[in-house]
Structure 1
């Protein structure tokens, strides 16, 4: 909940990103590169370079070296009143990047950032109180206050969190209509995963009677945005005939599009469909082709499936097919 790329595009962390990259770009520590990818400053400019270096770096040392030099520079900005730097000091203490993990310090930095109008800090601190984290106990009332403040100031992910709270009656009275409305608004404002939450709610009937048609409609809306997970799951459902709808052609197309975005389960599902002849004509050559593509992309499950094809009897069951959304 602290490293999602979910913030409005108006946030710009390139000043923080520049400080960090100056300190880690020549580092031989895998830890510096891993933590950089985990930290995810908004509009970070060096993610592809960091990923490429990780692939060729021979050292196994995961102790961050450059980050330990970057943190005092970020702290100096925070102490001068920079709310962006305050937010990142909070996040670094939550994740334990360049400093020991310290939730008390994290909360203090987030509170300072909020006092300066940093709405991302409202969300992160709201989630800390919503779920409890480390030594920080659950405080639903404070979580609701902070997430409401974020939602009122353009944080569409905060609206989704509030929507789920109202649906579940999590710290607030159950209000299904308000919960659904907040999730719809969150999706319309740009938080794609709010649509996944809506689809899941309609499919599972967790909060109200299940509505398979509405579930498919919402999952289709999310897939239409280019979200690879939604594309893959909807493709699976349409090929397998899950939740009352079958459209094999569209399902296969969506699964193939999901593999183009390297959504790993889609490789496995396509391979298994062809391997077992479920929804499509059984074709072991195509099954092997999809497993090979998945294994090459880094899927251990696809590699395992390839190994299993070397003489094992095929079972008609797809592992995990009963509940994947």
Structure 2
């Protein structure tokens, strides 16, 4: 299901006819991004999946994140295209990193509950926290339930409760103190806060430092994150050998996304 879509006046938007079946109407290209989303959603609701797909592929700017999320839905559910979970995940990740909280929430659910995938609690927590910090109450409630059954110590529980309550400065202070005490889980959580820039100033250099510290202590999630940075050149200079090294370390601990990344690098 598509989430958080305003339905008012979706079908009231004039829609000009295209001259070619493979072309989109001129008024689609000239419309504001938010209106383009409405138009594409109208086509989706009428089961015109091919047109909706081409529209979402054409949307850029402020609406790009939600357009990519909806492309993920098409491939996830096999609507107008052959179902392809890997392609869906790629669109969801792109959308989430571009700011779609719906995509972050969807990724969290996939890694937590979807029978098509191996459960990855660390990955699920990462995406659910991104969604919760962006205001998704469903993600926050789910995380609260997960934390109630967590084996984390009181310090991490306090930090995560502060994050969910919007007390980001206090949460960062608690995580920083735990990091200074050598807590790898706190290093990892603090690193992705700096990496995502949610409620703090984005600092990829600081995130890389923290991921490295936690990775050296054996934290699989940080080993994976460090591998991705080295593989993509985001936050660190590209280094495929080092990327493989850290991804292999994470994969050896059963990290699902690290295993997938290694397969894709072959």
* TM-score for the superposition, normalised by structure 1: 0.40
* TM-score for the superposition, normalised by structure 2: 0.48
Of structures 1 and 2, the larger Rg is shown by: 1
